[in-house]
Amino acid sequence: MCNPYQGEPLIQQGNRLVGIASRQEFEIRDGIPVILTAESLAGRNWRSKFIYDLTACWYDPIVSLGDRIGLNTELRVRREYIARIEIKPGARVLETAAGTASNLRFLPDEIQYYGLDISFAMLKYAQQKAEKSGRQVELVQADCGYIPFCDEVFDCVIQMGGLQFISNPFKAISEMARVARPGAAIHIVDEVRGALITLGNMPAHRKYAVPDKIIDGVKRLVPQSMVNVQSHAIPETQFYALSFQRPVVPNREATR
């Protein structure tokens, strides 16, 4: 792990993580590192944290009920998209905006799962869920715009339903790309109506905040250096999928 605010490694000292140069300290609470500062807890991030901390105990039951009576399509999305992501055994996978880790049961058992969320209450439910299922997970409370991991450490990065609640979507996606290894895939799934709001709040991209342009418009959120950028609506749901890859840098010796 690293200190995303200072760009330095973190070392564990008792129940705290400490920056090796700045000596900035972060608490480890119930086995979950809390890597947050006031900089991250502002605007939309603060509202999202407050709402999900308050409603964490109701989140899974409400989503489950919505799926059963047809008010939402999250279960379909998890089955039709999340479960079909190609992930090799032993891969190190990061899920940002992981919530209660509802996607965990749709991912292969043989992966190393890391879950990040800004709501500690949601992560506690994720922790309990993982323990009941016998899955080994690493959880961290942090801001998607300041991911507390070093560069190029994950074989796959995913996010579902969180982009619309993040203060700075551009920075969050850039961070997802930063921690992905060269050649690794990044998958983002979110509600179309959320994308309409997200792009509508960005002056340079507001022209894409209309239903017939939104699927192409979300590609504008991806850093220009990324490759294989694709987006599509997920049939019979209110969601879209956006995916891209971190490029592989050719070996310099091989290009001589």
- How many CB atoms neighbour CB 110 within 10 A? 10
pLDDT at res. 255? 42
Q: Hey, which residues does 2 pair with through a beta bridge?
A: 9
pLDDT of 256: 38
Cα separation, 138 vs 140, whole angstroms: 7
Instruction: List the one residue out of 138, 177, 167 whose CA is nearest residue 17.
Output: 138
- Which domains are seen in the chain, by residue range? 33-255 (3.40.50.150)
Buried b (16+ CB within 10 A) or exposed e, 23-33: ebebebeeebb
- Local mean pLDDT, 10-residue blocks, the chain (256 residues): 96 97 97 95 92 95 89 91 96 98 96 98 97 96 97 97 90 97 98 92 91 94 96 94 93 47
Q: Which residue has the tokens 């009576």?
A: 69
Check if the beta carbon of residue 4 is closer than 8 Å to that of residue 35: yes
Rg (CA), the chain: 18
Burial class (CB in 10 A: 0-12, 13-18, 19+), 12: exposed
The pLDDT value recorded for residue 252 is 45
